[in-house]
Amino acid sequence: MTSPADTEEAATKPNYLKMLLADPLAFIAAIVLLVVAFIAVFGRQLAGPTATQGDLALSRLAPFSTDHGWQYFLGGDLLGRSLLGRLMVATQTTMSVSVPVVLISLVIGASVGMWAGYHRGWRETLAMRIADVVLSFPSLLMAVVVLYIFSPSIASIIAILAVTRIPVYLRTARAESAELQSRVFVDAARTFGTPSGAIIRRHIFPIVLPTLLTVATLDFCYVMLAESSLSFLGIGVQPPDVSWGLMVAQGRDQLRTQWWLSVLPGLAIVITTVSANLLASWVRLATDPGQRWRLTTPRRRRRRRAVPVLEA
């Protein structure tokens, strides 16, 4: 049995790589994210010892000079550690929080959401009520309480951030699946006695997936910002671990004399989140058959705006 989405894909066969190459902004964004991912995996090895063992002779070294090796291109901190090296190590920490949070909340939120939307009734009401309650409170407020009670560690940060983000996926998945469950092809599957789990997996999940991926790309920014806020406030990642937000906080006292210690790690956050936002708005257009023409028609008539979807 083929779902409408399958036939549609087959009919138009969008070439995503070609569309990405045709859009310089989205292409650059994708490259940046690939580099960030690469550093997140291999950064620690690449950076070498300069990231952890300072050379006091290079303490407070100003940036933008390669006299002391490429690791010191962005200058050195108080202990003479290379800022670039530390940034690379911090990438790993930041990503090892953000990626699991997005994955966990995506999987849980999407599963519960599709289940609730497919069955409707009390299951839907219950899931939505809980989501409303979680969303009606500032995420930081919850994180603050939880991280006080269970001392901050990477695991507890991941747990609390995932809890606050689950409702976002839950709502999206529920809305789409509630709409789909009334469609003819789902009805047909049901008449044949297909179990509900299989219907959700085979017919609903593939159609909801593009939307969920767009939401996840945007949410990735949110989670990164939340993690860095917590770390900046001193209730997130704890030394000797290091994350971008923590580096901004640590460099703050030297703002008057060594501005780069605080400003550059923040710039790393901005570059990554801007890239993710640009890519997300591209994904949204590319996966929507009704909007795709905007990416393939010549620039002159194009009215595309790279505006991220925000939630309060």
Partner 1 sequence: MLTFLRRRALTSLLPLLAVVLGVFVLARLTGNPAALYLPENATAEAREQFSAANGFDKPIWAQLIDYFAGVARLDFGTSLRTGEDAATMALRAFPATLQLAVVTMVLAIAVAIVVGCWAALRPNGLADRVSGMLSMTAASVPDFWLAILGIWVFAIILGVLPTSGVDAGGASWVLPIAVLMVRPAGVLTQVVRGAMISALGSPYVKVARAKGASEGRVVARHALKNAAPPALTVAGDLAVGLINGAVVVESIFGWPGIGKLMIDAILQRDFAVLQAAVALTAISIFVLNIAIDIGYALLDARVRNKAGAAA
Partner 2 sequence: MTDIGMKVDGLTVDLHTPRGTVRAVDGVSFTAHRGRTLALLGESGCGKSMTAQAVVGLLEPIAEVTGGSIDIDGEDLLTVSRKRRRQLAGPALSIVFQDALTALNPVVKVGVQLAEPYRIHRKMSAKAARAEAIELMRHVGIPEPESRADSYPHQFSGGMRQRLLIAMAVALSPKVLIADEPTTALDVTVQAQILALLARLRKEHDMAVILITHDLSVVAEEADTVAVMYSGRIVETGPVDQVFEDPRHPYTRGLLESVPVDAERGADLSSIPGSPPDLFSIPPGCPYQARCPLVMDVCRTSRPALVKTGDRAVACHAASASGSEGVSHAA
* Sites of contact with partner 2 (CB under 8 A): 293, 297, 301
291 binds partner 1 per the rule CB under 8 A: no
User: Radius of gyration of the chain from Cα atoms?
Assistant: 23
Q: Is 76 helix (H, G, I), strand (E, B) or coil?
A: strand
Residue 256 binding partner 1, by CB under 8 A: yes
299: Cβ contacts below 8 Å, ≥ 6 apart: none
Closest CA to 98 of 224, 265, 219: 224
Residue 10, binding choice from partner 2, partner 1, none, Cβ under 5 to 8 Å by partner class: none
Per CB under 8 A, 232 contacts partner 1 = yes
Which option in partner 2, partner 1, none does residue 129 bind, with CB closer than 5 to 8 A by kind?
A: partner 1
Q: At what angle do helices 205-233 and 260-286 cross, to 10 degrees?
A: 170
Q: Which residue, 176 or 219, is less far from partner 1 as judged by CB?
A: 219
User: Is residue 129 part of the contact set for partner 1 (CB under 8 A)?
Assistant: yes
> Applying CB under 8 A, which of residues 21, 79, 126, 145 lies at the interface with partner 1?
145
Min dist CB 278 to partner 2, Å, is: 23
Which of 45/151 has CB closer to partner 1? 151
**DSSP code of residue 61:** -
Rounded Cα distance, 247 and 258, in Å: 13
Choose the one of partner 2, partner 1, none that binds residue 235, judging by a C-beta under 5 to 8 angstroms depending on kind.
partner 1
Burial class, 134, CB count within 10 angstroms (exposed 0-12 / middle 13-18 / buried 19+): middle
Q: What's the closest the beta carbon of residue 16 comes to partner 2, in angstroms?
A: 20
